[in-house]
Amino acid sequence: MTSRTIAELSGVSQTTVSRVLRDDPAVSEATREKVLRVLEETGYAPNAWARAMRLRSTGVVGVVAGAVTNPFYPELVEALNTTISRKGRHMSLWVASEESEREAGERAALAAVQQGALDGVIFTTVTAESVALRAALERQAPVVLMNRTLEGLPCDTVSTDNVTGGRAVARYFARHGRRRPALITGPESVSTSRERESGFRDALQEARVAVAGAHIIRGDFTHAAGRAAMLTLLERAEPPDAVFCVNDVVAFGALDGAREAGVSVPDGVWIVGFDDTELASWAAFDLTTVRQPIQQLAEVGLELLLDRLADPAAPYASRRLPAEIVVRRSTGHAAAE
Amino acid sequence: MTSRTIAELSGVSQTTVSRVLRDDPAVSEATREKVLRVLEETGYAPNAWARAMRLRSTGVVGVVAGAVTNPFYPELVEALNTTISRKGRHMSLWVASEESEREAGERAALAAVQQGALDGVIFTTVTAESVALRAALERQAPVVLMNRTLEGLPCDTVSTDNVTGGRAVARYFARHGRRRPALITGPESVSTSRERESGFRDALQEARVAVAGAHIIRGDFTHAAGRAAMLTLLERAEPPDAVFCVNDVVAFGALDGAREAGVSVPDGVWIVGFDDTELASWAAFDLTTVRQPIQQLAEVGLELLLDRLADPAAPYASRRLPAEIVVRRSTGHAAAE
DNA sequence: CTGAAAGCGCTTACAG
DNA sequence: CTGAAAGCGCTTACAG
């Protein structure tokens, strides 16, 4: 069934049916009613692809996200989905289950843009190795970098103020007399771990608290990495009294590692995460962490993308959203920053 | 840039360009090379919508899923995404953040099918109230019900054998001398909770173990509901010695409730979930649970959908996949079933 | 082996 | 206010 069928059934031209469907005011009330009745009876729905082809716009926004094993991503994806729906568009998702698939997901999403299947894409997991992205940006692909960013690329970015977040944790440790801080961080090619780490280390230095080299462990963004790192740290001759983890899922692993090693949290060691995923507030973890404004990230990111689509020549924007420390039992319920 | 541009640049007809792109063997090697070179130089990508419109097939599979607050859904969505990609298609996702949005998500996905924006849809969260679905199925919409099902509808279904899963938990409780079992279950309009509950209760009865009416609590599928239910159960005059929760996220809430009430697990009470999400194996929970074969659900579900698209008139299939109990510390590391 | 042409189902100037 | 017609960018019989 096409608009032509509807036209025949209601005794008007296909043009008029199209007008009624688009709510064109240049249609008489009588004609409109006639067509609407047939539309109602048949339950006809116009073909989305034909429409998209004519309008050269699909209403679909692509999102490239990280795997479910880090609960931050499902939460971010859900916020994006809600925001995109609210703007009358639809989200198309590429999930990179493993780091090795990340580049493939990015390529697929960029190809979809080039094929006109997508209006634009939001990348949430870029790393310094995202090669295809650089090439696409030279062709002016409508891309927004969210969460993880890259310096000096011709595109819009939005992220949490990771440096300030890291600094807040360091100052919190220093103020509460923590003398042997440790850091479980992520790959250096990723902006989020670099920024959180540098904020944390700089503020510790300003507070004249030293971090032992052996107290810095670099791993990936998984529960298993956090657990392993924590077990290692607790075996040191001088184990840490406070551990800052690069994100929540690593902190959950660290908490589980401490539990297995029989070290009580917060009495034996403090643990802090980053993200404030929903799980962080569960009694099982009750994790002090730095809150990312997930809903706001989604909203600003989509806004940047829609602005970009509306005006491809506008200057590029970089937005930083505030991070806020949330104190819970994993650091002894101490007063908030 | 269109295929016509490529045709002009390589001195052949647009028809021939199209043939080269589709790898049509009826193109001479010389012509193919000439066109491929131009294709390479320009980085041209054919328009997805024009192609879909001609072929009347989009290569896009819709998925309607529940919110991230239940980690089972992100895991199922990720498995579906992987499976769908592997088959050379793409997933389009509708997430119902709240139960109230579920129907809206279903309607949107069905509308997308009717508009030809999707080849078919996999529903993972139908309930008895899914009205739009019934109407769509009368119009032969290509839909597969996964995870949650509905009886007597003209469509394919795939789900875990929830009844047997529930029975396994009951028999496990009975065999290990649990005398005061409790059940924290979900809405009656949802097949999964109905089935798990009935298997559990039937097998308890066969084992001559009584369940007190006060030991059955019905809530929704959230951490908060599990926690609240557990706190209520532990205040009873005769608190339960083993609690079966309708799914993992409810069990995580129950574990947190027990923790807050100062009741040790497993010494004071056993707790069992259903799903075997990744979190269940974390030391923080170490939850005995019934494993759903998530990857297999995704594979069978997609297979059913692709078969349906290939042959709309084929008889409807209902597949049940085996459930398996996984024993962990929340029931004292007892030997596996 | 190659190309001119029809057609997928829409939107929108253009003419009346 | 309404309709005939062009055209979005492809695929594929059909003819040569």
Mean pLDDT of B130-155: 93
| pLDDT at residue A131, as a whole number | 87
> Residue B131 pLDDT more than 90?
no
Under the banding of pLDDT at 50, 70 and 90, the label for residue B56 is confident
pTM above threshold 0.95? no
Chain A residue numbers with beta carbons less than 8 Å from the beta carbon of B55 are none
Assess contact for B168 and B331: CB atoms under 8 A: no
* Nucleotide with C1' nearest the A116 CA: D9
Q: Are the beta carbons of B282 and A67 separated by less than 8 Å? A: no
Q: Supply the mean pLDDT for chain B.
A: 93
Under the banding of pLDDT at 50, 70 and 90, the label for residue B337 is very low
Q: Which residue has the tokens 């030997």?
A: B335
- Alpha helices of chain B — where are they, by DSSP H? 3-10, 14-21, 29-42, 48-55, 72-86, 99-114, 131-138, 162-175, 191-206, 223-235, 248-261, 294-310
> Residue B334 pLDDT more than 80?
no
For chain B, what percent of residues have pLDDT higher than 90?
81
Q: Which residues between 114 and 133 in chain A have a beta carbon less than 8 angstroms from any beta carbon of chain B?
A: 114-117
| Closest by Cβ to A45, choosing from B78, B92, B115 | B115
> Residue B303 pLDDT more than 80?
yes
A58 CB burial (10 A radius; 0-12, 13-18, 19+):
buried
Q: Which residue of B has its CA nearest to A89?
A: B108
Give Cα separations from B108 to A85, A93, A119, A146, B126 (angstroms): 10, 16, 19, 27, 14
CA–CA gap between residue A270 and residue A145 (Å, rounded): 33
Q: Supply the mean pLDDT for chain A.
A: 94
Q: Which residue has the tokens 């290990």?
A: B176
Kindly report the nearest CA distance between residue A131 and chain B, in angstroms.
Answer: 16
CA–CA gap between residue A169 and residue A192 (Å, rounded): 15
Q: Which residues between 13 and 32 in chain A have a beta carbon less than 8 angstroms from any beta carbon of chain B?
A: none
**Angle, helix B223-235 to helix B248-261, in steps of 10 degrees:** 40
Kindly report the nearest CA distance between residue B210 and chain A, in angstroms.
Answer: 31
Under the banding of pLDDT at 50, 70 and 90, the label for residue A223 is very high
Two tokens, residue A109: 């999403």
CA–CA gap between residue B173 and residue B248 (Å, rounded): 17
Using alpha carbons, select from A82, A52, A237 the residue that is nearest to residue B51. A52
Chain A residue numbers with beta carbons less than 8 Å from the beta carbon of B285 are 284
> Residue A11 pLDDT more than 80?
yes
Euclidean distance between the first and the last CA atom of chain A, given in angstroms as a whole number? 63
Cis amide prior to A266 (ω within 30 degrees): yes
| pLDDT at residue A334, as a whole number | 53
Assess contact for A172 and A164: CB atoms under 8 A: no
Q: Are the beta carbons of B53 and A53 separated by less than 8 Å? A: yes
pLDDT tens sequence across A164-219: 999 999 999 999 999 999 999 999 999 999 999 999 999 999 999 999 999 999 99
Judge whether residue A210 contacts strand C, using its CB and a 7 Å cut-off. Answer: no
CA dihedral A232, A238, A241, A242 (to 10 degrees): -50
3-state secondary structure of B318: strand
Q: Are the beta carbons of A283 and B74 separated by less than 8 Å? A: no
| pLDDT at residue B335, as a whole number | 46
Q: Between A93 and A207, whose confidence is greater?
A: A207
Judge whether residue A13 contacts strand D, using its CB and a 7 Å cut-off. Answer: yes
For chain A, what percent of residues have pLDDT higher than 90?
82
Q: Which residues between 165 and 204 in chain B have a beta carbon less than 8 angstroms from any beta carbon of chain A?
A: none
Judge whether residue B2 contacts strand D, using its CB and a 7 Å cut-off. Answer: yes
Mean pLDDT of A21-32: 91
> Residue B150 pLDDT more than 60?
yes
Cβ atoms within 10 Å, residue B131: 11
B273 and chain A in contact, CB less than 8 A: no
pLDDT tens sequence across A129-160: 888 899 899 888 999 999 999 999 999 999 99
Judge whether residue B13 contacts strand D, using its CB and a 7 Å cut-off. Answer: no
| Closest by Cβ to B78, choosing from A67, A82, A259 | A67
Q: Are the beta carbons of B46 and A223 separated by less than 8 Å? A: no
* Nucleotide with C1' nearest the B25 CA: C1
Judge whether residue A27 contacts strand D, using its CB and a 7 Å cut-off. Answer: yes
Judge whether residue B16 contacts strand C, using its CB and a 7 Å cut-off. Answer: yes
A227 and chain B in contact, CB less than 8 A: yes
Mean pLDDT of B213-239: 96
> Residue A97 pLDDT more than 80?
no
